[in-house]
C-alpha cells in the first residue's frame, strides 16, 4: 500500500499493519468508527480500499482531532501553515523546536502540533504531569519536507472529505452510541511489547472498563476488531482479554526486533488482533481463506472461548 497517504510517524500507528488488519473487516461497511483514532491510519486505508464511505474519528487528544479535521476539511491551510513553520527553522533548528513547543503548550494550535509530531523523537507524543507536551526533538532529522507533507495532506483530504465525523470524547462515550451496522476498530493506548507495567491500566485506561465496553458491544451485536497486546520471542505482553468475550485471536507477525537481529537472535514480534463474535459468526471459512492468501504470515489461533 505504498501510495496510501499518511500523516506522520506516530507511535503506535497501525499504518504498516493496515492492509493486514483490513483483511478481517467486511468488504463494505456502513460506517467505520475509530474511538482511538490517533492518526487515523486504518480509516485512511479503508477509504483508500473503498471499504467505507463514512467514518467517525474520535480521540481524547483534542489538538490531534483538530489537526485531523483541518487536514480533511482545509488541506491548503494546514499544508501552508506547516510549510511556514518548517521554513522558520533557522541555523539552530533545535532551538526553533523548543520555541514551537512552548508556543504549542500555550495555544494548543493544531498547526504547531503537526510540526512537533513531524519533528519529535519517534513520533512519540509525551506529556508531563501538568499536561504539557514535553517530547524532545529528533536531533538527526528536521521533520518531513513541506512538499511531501502537502502531498500526504492532500491525499488524506481527498479520501476523507465530507465523509467524517470528528469528536474528542472518552472512548466509552463513543461506544455507548454506536449501533448495529457500525464497524468499530479499537486500538487503545499501547501496552507495548517491552517495559514494566501495571496490568490494571494501560496509559490511563482501566482494563476492567475496557472489557465492560467490549461486553456491551457484544450485547448490542456490534462488530469490532481490537488491536491489543502482542509478544516478542516467548514473552507475551499485556493482560489477556477474558475468554467470555468469545473473541477470535489472530497473530500478525510484524518482524524481528532490530536488537534481536543485531544479537543474531530469532526474536519475532507479533501483534494480536481480536475479532468479535458478530464479525466471524457465519464467516469463518472466509476468514480462513483471507489468512491463506495473506502476504505476511498470519496465524489463526484456536477460537478464543
Query: Smaller CB distance to ligand SAM: residue 25 or 96?
Result: 25
Kindly state whether residue 124 participates in binding ligand SAM, applying the rule CB under 6 A.
no
What are residue 56's DSSP bridge partners?
A: 33, 165
Closest C-alpha to 274, from 202, 223, 206, 235 = 223
- Name which of residues 260 to 299 contact ligand SAM (CB under 6 A): none
Query: Smaller CB distance to ligand SAM: residue 206 or 265?
Result: 206
Kindly state whether residue 204 participates in binding ligand SAM, applying the rule CB under 6 A.
yes
Kindly state whether residue 183 participates in binding ligand SAM, applying the rule CB under 6 A.
no
Query: Smaller CB distance to ligand SAM: residue 68 or 85?
Result: 68
Q: Which residue is nearest to ligand SAM (CB)?
A: 38
- For ligand SAM, which stretch binds (CB under 6 A), given 107-115, 136-144, 185-193, 215-223? 185-193
Pairing of strands 55-58, 31-34: parallel
How far CA 132 is from CA of 98, 108, 125, 135, 234, in Å, comes to 12, 10, 11, 9, 37
- Name which of residues 221 to 260 contact ligand SAM (CB under 6 A): none
Report how far residue 5's alpha carbon sits from residue 114's, in angstroms, rounded to the nearest whole number. Answer: 15
DSSP element (H, E) containing 32:
strand 31-34
Any idea which residue has 470524547 for its cell?
169
Does residue 58 sit in helix, strand or coil?
Answer: strand
**Which one of 76, 88, 95, 170 is in contact with ligand SAM (CB under 6 A)?**
170
- Name which of residues 19 to 78 contact ligand SAM (CB under 6 A): 35-36, 38-39, 41-42, 59-61
Angle between helices 75-87 and 62-73 in degrees, nearest 10: 120
**Which one of 4, 5, 10, 290 is in contact with ligand SAM (CB under 6 A)?**
10
Shortest gap between Cβ of 264 and ligand SAM (angstroms)? Answer: 31
**Which one of 48, 190, 224, 237 is in contact with ligand SAM (CB under 6 A)?**
190
Query: Smaller CB distance to ligand SAM: residue 96 or 229?
Result: 229
Query: Smaller CB distance to ligand SAM: residue 96 or 183?
Result: 183
Query: Smaller CB distance to ligand SAM: residue 170 or 243?
Result: 170
DSSP element (H, E) containing 20:
helix 18-22
**DSSP symbols for 33-51:** EETT-TT-HHHHHHHHTTS
**DSSP symbols for 222-284:** -EEEEEEEEEETTEEESPPPPGGG-PEEEEEEEEE-HHHHHTT---EEEEEEEE-HHHHTTTH
Closest C-alpha to 276, from 194, 201, 178 = 178
Query: Smaller CB distance to ligand SAM: residue 189 or 233?
Result: 189
Query: Smaller CB distance to ligand SAM: residue 116 or 205?
Result: 205
Report how far residue 254's alpha carbon sits from residue 209's, in angstroms, rounded to the nearest whole number. Answer: 28
Number of residues interacting with ligand SAM: please give it, by CB under 6 A: 20
- For ligand SAM, which stretch binds (CB under 6 A), given 12-20, 104-112, 211-219, 285-293? 12-20
Q: What does the binding site for ligand SAM look like in residue numbers (CB under 6 A)?
A: 10, 12-14, 35-36, 38-39, 41-42, 59-61, 170-171, 187, 189-190, 204-205
Amino acid at each position: 500500500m505504498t501510495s496510501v497517504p499518511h500523516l506522520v510517524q506516530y507511535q503506535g500507528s497501525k499504518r504498516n499493519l493496515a492492509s493486514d488488519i483490513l483483511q478481517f473487516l467486511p468488504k463494505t461497511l456502513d460506517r467505520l468508527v475509530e474511538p482511538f483514532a490517533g492518526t487515523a491510519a486504518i480509516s485512511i486505508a479503508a477509504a483508500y480500499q473503498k471499504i467505507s464511505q463514512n467514518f467517525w474519528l474520535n480521540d481524547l487528544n483534542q489538538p490531534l482531532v483538530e489537526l485531523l479535521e483541518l487536514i480533511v476539511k482545509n488541506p491548503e491551510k494546514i499544508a501552508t501553515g506547516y510549510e511556514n513553520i518548517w521554513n522558520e527553522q533557522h541555523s539552530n533548528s533545535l532551538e526553533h523546536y523548543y520555541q514551537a513547543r512552548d508556543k504549542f503548550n500555550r495555544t494548543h494550535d493544531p498547526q504547531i502540533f503537526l510540526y512537533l509530531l513531524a519533528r519529535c523523537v519517534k513520533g512519540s507524543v509525551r506529556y508531563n504531569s501538568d499536561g504539557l507536551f514535553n517530547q524532545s526533538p529528533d536531533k538527526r532529522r528536521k521533520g518531513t519536507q513541506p512538499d511531501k507533507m502537502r502531498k500526504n495532506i492532500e491525499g488524506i483530504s481527498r479520501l476523507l472529505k465530507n465523509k467524517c465525523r470528528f469528536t474528542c470524547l472518552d472512548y466509552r462515550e463513543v461506544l455507548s452510541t454506536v449501533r448495529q451496522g457500525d464497524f468499530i476498530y479499537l486500538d487503545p493506548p499501547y501496552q507495548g511489547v517491552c517495559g514494566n507495567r501495571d496490568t490494571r491500566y494501560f496509559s490511563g485506561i482501566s482494563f476492567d472498563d475496557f472489557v465492560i465496553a467490549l461486553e456491551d458491544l457484544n450485547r448490542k451485536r456490534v462488530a469490532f476488531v481490537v488491536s491489543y497486546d502482542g509478544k516478542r520471542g516467548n514473552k507475551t505482553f499485556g493482560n489477556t482479554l477474558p475468554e467470555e468475550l468469545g473473541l477470535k485471536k489472530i497473530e500478525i507477525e510484524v518482524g524481528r526486533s532490530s536488537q534481536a537481529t543485531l544479537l543474531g537472535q530469532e526474536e519475532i514480534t507479533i501483534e494480536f488482533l481480536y475479532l468479535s463474535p458478530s464479525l466471524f459468526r457465519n464467516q469463518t471459512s472466509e476468514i480462513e481463506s483471507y489468512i491463506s492468501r495473506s502476504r505476511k504470515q498470519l496465524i489463526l489461533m484456536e477460537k478464543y472461548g
